[in-house]
Amino acid sequence: MGAIRFALIGVGKIARDQHLPAIAGNPDFDLVAAVSHHDPELDVPWFATLDALMASGIAVDAVALCTPPQVRHALAVQALHHGLHVFLEKPPGATLAEVETLRAIADARGRTLFASWHSRYAAGVDLAKAWLAERQIRAVRIVWREDVREWHPGQEWIWQAGGLGVFDPGINALSIATHILPQPFHATQAVLYVPANRDAPIAADVAFTDVSGTQMSMNMDWRETGAPTWDITVETDDGTLRLSVAIGHARLVLPHALHEGPDREYAALYARFARLIADGISDVDVAPLRHVADAFLLGQRRLVEPFVE
């Protein structure tokens, strides 16, 4: 089998910063086209719509959807009906039900659907999972704080219904937690701080518990003006684990051990996608999105000052 003929749908910041370098660095993929509302100025043909790409005669095997989640479902349905394999940026959709629909379509058509969670591929995450599997968890604290003006400038969609607000980065923490913690957990209460002029929260506090009654807290805030904090701390019967995930690298601190590594998340995602296609299977884990949905179901909405960029 030759290289997977690949098209990128949506050529915004995440596509340019992460997807394009990862595609270029993986010989299993050959970027043959892009779909964007504006000329992305790439060295491949571009089209304003997926239908226009399909009508062009360019052979495509797979696509990555890097659009806002509110419009991703319709594009994924189109792609699957055209017989394409589909890579979904996180979150995989605006709702749980639409992702399950995509899974059913992919299964029926024998196509690969990949719900990607890039933070699970950060350095130290698998080591953290293995270390925690042999210990008793006593408490978990997640702190995910950053300046929205720095990290999400001009992204109006993120403030709209379905855009998740502060949970858009926060879901990265939940993707790690659902991967490394040895027992399932669920939300018990949540407070969502919503600007008076927006649909989605700018900050949130969520409490969780697992089947053993272990307490877990999560604090997210987009009003952080200093250095960002992306930390997961787990207290165990054998000491404390701290995993810090940052742009460019990740750092895992264990009792008497330190592990650090560079950012290879998207390279690993594309390697995983190629293996899934070769094996003829899908990978659609909705656990992180389910926790976000539960937080919105349980959440007390508290209005805060309007957000003006």
Domain with residue 9: its CATH number is 3.40.50.720
Lowest mean pLDDT among 147-161, 191-205, 227-241, 256-270: 256-270
In this prediction, residues 247-266 reach a mean pLDDT of 82
Counting every residue, how long is the chain? 309
Does residue 230 sit in the same domain as residue 105?
A: no
Task: For the chain, give the percent of residues with pLDDT over 70.
Answer: 99
Does residue 150 sit in the same domain as residue 130?
A: yes
Please answer whether residues 149 and 143 qualify as being in contact, where contact means their C-beta atoms are separated by less than 8 angstroms. no
Q: What is the DSSP string of 32-67?
A: EEEE-SS----SS-EESSHHHHHHTT----EEEE-S
- Sheet of 85-88: strand order equals 46-47, 29-35, 4-9, 62-65, 85-88, 113-115
- 198: pLDDT strictly greater than 80: yes
The domain tally of the chain equals: 2
Question: Average per-residue pLDDT in the chain?
Answer: 95
Does residue 177 sit in the same domain as residue 249?
A: yes
Q: Which of 115, 132, 166 is the last residue of a domain?
A: 115
- Residue bearing tokens 């990555």: 64
Q: What is the pLDDT of residue 301?
A: 97
Strand-pair category, 215-221 with 137-145: parallel
Q: Is residue 272 in some structural domain?
A: no
> What is the number of other CB atoms lying within 10 angstroms of the CB of residue 60?
20
Q: What is the pLDDT of residue 251?
A: 85
Does residue 191 sit in the same domain as residue 105?
A: no
Please answer whether residues 251 and 124 qualify as being in contact, where contact means their C-beta atoms are separated by less than 8 angstroms. yes
- 278: pLDDT strictly greater than 80: yes
Q: What is the pLDDT of residue 249?
A: 73
Does residue 205 sit in the same domain as residue 257?
A: yes
> What is the number of other CB atoms lying within 10 angstroms of the CB of residue 67?
22
Please answer whether residues 226 and 237 qualify as being in contact, where contact means their C-beta atoms are separated by less than 8 angstroms. no
Q: Which of 72, 98, 115 is the last residue of a domain?
A: 115
* Dihedral angle sign, alpha carbons of residues 175, 179, 181, 183: positive
- pLDDT digit string, tens, across residues 12-62: 889 999 999 999 999 999 999 999 999 889 999 999 999 999 999 999 999
The CATH number for 131's domain is 3.30.360.10
CA distance 182 to 15: 33
> What is the number of other CB atoms lying within 10 angstroms of the CB of residue 156?
11
Does residue 208 sit in the same domain as residue 86?
A: no
Please give the positions annotated as active site.
90
Q: Is residue 239 in some structural domain?
A: yes
In this prediction, residues 163-182 reach a mean pLDDT of 97
Q: What is the pLDDT of residue 261?
A: 81
Q: Is residue 147 in some structural domain?
A: yes
Q: What's the whole-model pTM score?
A: 0.95
Q: What is the pLDDT of residue 125?
A: 93
In this prediction, residues 286-296 reach a mean pLDDT of 98
Look up the domain containing 42 and give its range.
4-115
Q: Is residue 222 in some structural domain?
A: yes
Q: What is the pLDDT of residue 258?
A: 82
- 277: pLDDT strictly greater than 70: yes
- pLDDT digit string, tens, across residues 202-254: 999 999 999 999 999 999 999 999 889 999 999 999 999 999 987 667 888 88
- 1: pLDDT strictly greater than 70: no
Q: Which of 89, 115, 141 is the last residue of a domain?
A: 115
Burial label for 228, CB within 10 Å (0-12, 13-18, 19+), is middle
Does residue 200 sit in the same domain as residue 146?
A: yes
Does residue 43 sit in the same domain as residue 173?
A: no
